[in-house]
Structure 1
């Protein structure tokens, strides 16, 4: 695998490199040998982030969620500007140098991957000749795909979980190919909900206020709340809480983490407050939800 960036990781960001032993198993397993992840990450407002590789021995995707940056690529050192909504695609063997704009630092998802069909999946994206960028726009479902892959870091040494992540990578690649023909269509909505929901998805592990969401779409707080409610029938914070609880349900389903750990993972420092919010949204406590999942209880009591 190409060496990941050594950029100092702040608390809001994630860098996960799969264990070498697990990569060896994925490279030879019939369910993953065609396409499998090597490393996954999310860097939030990554001021100072920069990476240069003369030798690139795997495949790399970088999805820019906000901010901007630059990339220099190929033997002729062509340059491109990377903006929010752009996907940077760097196939094996492509020398490159990318960096964030210091005045407008980017937030990005990235994934290194390999496998016998990696190039075929890249070809399916139909990149424009001479450019490594796909201007996809901001899509909350695509953000969810990256977040699902980030869950791989919870797997520890369970092969089944890594096989699942390999097939989630297939889903992500085919999802991108599906979005590609629609990438240049103009937004018809008066409010860019995809941008807002993508920002929410990326920050489920922390708190976010309405001012931040309104600023992301260049609206005042008042007009943002009014437009958002007109389009969705709810407030942005209520939707954000709903996303947090959905995420908590997922973690209750697929991990053995304690309630306090799960509360922390979705941005609540107080486990009791988290449990009250969970009960309000779901009608049952987190412990009851897990008991139902384990077959120790039922919804009808």
Structure 2
């Protein structure tokens, strides 16, 4: 449970800082609320706030989040991150009896920077287990503030930084899951990628190998691996190319073709975007350790 609901009541606590320039991640408000009227509606362009960052997590019931023309459902254990101003609004949808949620609103340049990165990593909405570390950090902060055992703005800021870093850890954990944790349909797709990375694989083929619809395959794959399926294909291809560059005298054009790149120019461009140098420059670098294997990490928003 996020916090002990039996021993407390929903409440929202606001903060005002006399010197807003000193602390780069400032808590504006933290609270636990229950909306029971369609009058509950917040629009990201009409709030009168500038430079705010919001995290909101559903405890029970259901809300909705509109971003542009897309509407996302927010059932139990779903969360979202948004910055203000922005073309979004969140609300209690028609026909829903209530939406109970936990939220935190922060200000500061660092807050906005981290929120934007996390939005790219986690997507418009994401599932967060009730016993996850980010929620435990916020739950403890809420309990301390509500119980008046913490008021120091620097200590609060330090806790907010921990919350943000734990969200980054949570977002990046998809690429660190154990094989036993990966659903069998994804294991089958990964086997196809690793065995046939040199072929002209398509997203449709990978989805078919998993036995899932393309939509559910893509969604599940990114949830468990932290990147999209075709990004994972490029990851495996580049890792193999790195090994061949370090351990063979094969021509670069031949290595590119052997790793699934039909055109040398595309191979060089992709290699440079991921590794930071061309294949030729990488091969010529002196002092590189003779790795038996290199793990290539890609950002979720990489092309």
Which structure is larger by alpha-carbon Rg, 1 or 2? 2
Q: Shorter-chain TM-score: which interval? A: 0.3 to 0.5
- The TM-score normalised by the length of structure 2 is 0.47
